[in-house]
Structure 1
Amino acid sequence: MPKRILILDDSEDILEVMKDTLEMEGYEVQGLNFTDDICKAAIDYNADMVILDYILFGINGGELCHILKTTPTTAHIPVIMVSAYPRVLESLGNYGSDDFVAKPFDLSDITDAIKNCFLKAGNDVEHADCDF
């Protein structure tokens, strides 16, 4: 079964490009530009990973990451933060994210970060049937 990645970004263009790229890499992807409850979204989608933009409409993606990482039912899910403002993230901490990718990025930066996070979590990225 392919790994499932949930992406939260308020840019439709970025969502579309990342979704298309990651699907070509063999992942199942759901893109959202808003959610009232990040934990519910991750659980409902059965996400193996979450990619969060740092600056969202009215919401700090770092706070959403912190919520995911401190909620027992979602704490195991790797989270990658993306942002065009890496200095802001450095000054405020990483909120418990497993990796960070600065915008603008090459798509290979995202795919490499995903593979590294799965490997760090003890997941064999080459074999899609492995679970957490």
Structure 2
Amino acid sequence: MSRKILILDDSEDILEVMKEVLEMAGYEVKTLNYTDDICKSVMTFNADLVILDYILFGINGGELCHILKTSAVTAHIPVIMVSAYPRVLESLGSYGSDAFVAKPFNLTDIVDTVKECFLKAGDIEHADY
């Protein structure tokens, strides 16, 4: 059974590229460019991992990460933050994220980071596609 990854980014191009590369790596991927309830979106899709852009329309992804990591129903789900502004994220903290990937990124960086997060979470089966 393939693992499910939810990606939230306001760039359609980034969503399309990440979806394609992660699906080629064997994951089931859902993309969103907006959500008004991150926990509901994650639970509805039954996501095993979430990738969040740091800068989104109307809210920063760090706040969404914090919401996921402090909610009892989603705290166990690995969250990867991506941003073109790594220094801002470094100064503000990781918001509880499990990993960070700076934009622009190499596509293998995304796949490798996803695998590392599953491995850290103890999911050996899905860490090694």
Q: Shorter-chain TM-score: what band?
A: over 0.9
Match of 1:98 in 2: 98
Quote the residue 1:113 is aligned against: 113
Aligned-pair identity in percent equals 75
Q: Does 1:86 align with 2:89?
A: no
Q: Does 1:72 align with 2:72?
A: yes
Letter in 1 for 2:40: K
Following TM superposition, the consecutive aligned residue runs of length 4 or more in structure 1 with deviations greater than 3 angstroms are: none
Query: 8 Å contact 2:83–2:103 — kept in the other structure?
Result: yes
Q: CA deviation at 1:126?
A: 5.2
| Residue 56 (structure 2) aligns with | 56
Cα distance in 1, alignment partners of residues 128 and 2 from structure 2: 9
List runs of 5+ in structure 1 lacking aligned partners: none
Change (3 A) 1:13 1:123: same
CA distance in 2, matches of 1:120, 1:69: 16
User: What is the rounded CA distance, in whole Å, between the counterparts of 2:29 and 2:14 in structure 1?
Assistant: 13
Q: Using the TM superposition, give the Cα deviation of residue 58 of structure 1 relative to its aligned residue in structure 2, in angstroms.
A: 1.1
Contact residue 118 and residue 127 of structure 2 kept, 8 A: no
Match of 1:45 in 2: 45
Question: Secondary structure at 1:35's aligned position in 2?
Answer: coil
Secondary structure of 1:36 counterpart: coil
Aligned CA distance change for structure 1 residues 126 and 74 (closer, same or farther; 3 Å): closer
Shift of 1:19: 0.3
The one-letter amino acid of 2:8's match is L
Partner Cα separation in structure 2 for residue 126 and residue 59 of structure 1? 31
Corresponding residue pairs, total: 128
1:22-41 CA distance string (max 9 Å, x none)? 00100000000000000000
Q: Choose between structure 1 and 2: higher helix proportion.
A: 2
SS at match of 2:51: strand
Instruction: Note the 1:2-13 alignment, pairs <5 A.
Output: 2-13=2-13
Q: Tell me, which stretches of 5 or more residues in structure 2 are unaligned?
A: none
**Which residue does 1:34 correspond to in 2?**
34
Q: Supply the distance in 1 between the matched residues of 2:76 and 2:128 (Cα, whole angstroms).
A: 19
Task: Give yes or no for contact 2:9–2:52 (8 Å, CA) kept in 1.
Answer: yes
Secondary structure of residue in 1 paired with 2:50: strand
